[in-house]
């Protein structure tokens, strides 16, 4: 089974388009806008925790500050000078019906997608540090909200608030077929929409949260 997306006609001059999602069996029209208010709450309906499904990391502890190895390595003018490596992750206890995994790192404080990897094989139960490098062999990735490349990019919030970076592993009973024309990988919003509209196919989730401030 697969989740297929078909583009609707594009509106001239707009950077984003609405999509028609045909879920692993299903047909739902998607909203044409995706603003901060929606993104702050989008994880709620797609993250129903399962007590038997758990994720851990050797890179950081849940609800603790993330190490500098995970922090964004900023461009000129940025105050962030980290290793920009995705953390090590291990998970266990997924339902037997799991067909693929999706990993999403989302800053719930700023409504910002830092990493999205999908169609990770069901036989995979861990990712090593830096699995989110561009061209990763562990699974296809979306362009994060830095809009630079389909890869992991770490925390780099403005000074002040402590930001919460939620990494969620989704066990899914199908694979996702996201729109990816040659040279144009899907973006974070596309993955979020697929998870939201195809949430009936998310059979378990587990999360770990890292904290960071500048």
Indicate the domain borders of the chain.
39-212
The pTM (predicted TM-score) of the whole model is: 0.81
Quote the pLDDT of residue 182.
Answer: 74
In percent, the amount of the chain with pLDDT more than 70 equals 75
Mean pLDDT of 61-86: 89
Tokens 């603790």 belong to 64
What CATH class does 39-212 carry? alpha beta
Quote the pLDDT of residue 19.
Answer: 35
Torsion over CA: 23, 29, 34, 36 (sign): negative
Q: What is the mean pLDDT of the chain?
A: 80
pLDDT at 70 over 60: yes
pLDDT at 16 over 90: no
Provide the β-strand partners of residue 101: 120, 171
* Alpha carbon distance 165, 18 (integer Å): 27
Going by pLDDT thresholds of 50, 70 and 90, the confidence category of residue 36 is very low
Quote the pLDDT of residue 177.
Answer: 85
**Segment 173-201, tens digit of pLDDT:** 999 988 777 778 899 989 988 888 888 89
Burial environment of residue 99 by CB neighbours within 10 A (0 to 12, 13 to 18, 19 or more): middle
* Alpha carbon distance 201, 205 (integer Å): 11
pLDDT at 3 over 60: no
pLDDT at 41 over 60: no
């Amino acid at each position: 089974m697969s989740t297929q997306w078909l583009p609707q006609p594009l509106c001239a001059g707009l950077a984003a388009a609405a999509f028609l999602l045909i879920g692993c069996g299903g047909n739902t029209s998607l909203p044409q806008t995706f603003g901060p208010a929606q993104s702050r709450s989008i994880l709620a309906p797609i993250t129903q925790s399962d007590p038997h499904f758990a994720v851990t990391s050797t890179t950081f502890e849940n609800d603790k500050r993330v190490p500098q190895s995970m922090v964004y390595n900023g461009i000129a003018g940025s105050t962030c000078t980290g290793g920009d490596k995705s953390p090590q992750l291990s998970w266990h206890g997924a339902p037997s019906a799991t067909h693929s995994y999706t990993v999403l790192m989302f800053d719930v404080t700023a409504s910002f997608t830092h990493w999205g990897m999908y169609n990770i094989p069901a036989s995979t139960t861990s990712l090593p540090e830096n699995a989110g490098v561009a061209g990763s062999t562990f699974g296809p990735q979306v362009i994060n909200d830095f809009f630079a490349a389909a890869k992991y990019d770490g925390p780099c919030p403005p000074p002040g608030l402590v930001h919460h970076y939620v990494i969620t592993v989704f066990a899914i009973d199908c694979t996702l077929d996201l729109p990816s024309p040659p040279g144009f990988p899907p973006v974070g919003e596309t993955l979020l929409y697929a998870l939201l509209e195809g949430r009936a196919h998310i059979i378990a989730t587990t999360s770990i949260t890292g904290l960071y401030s500048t």
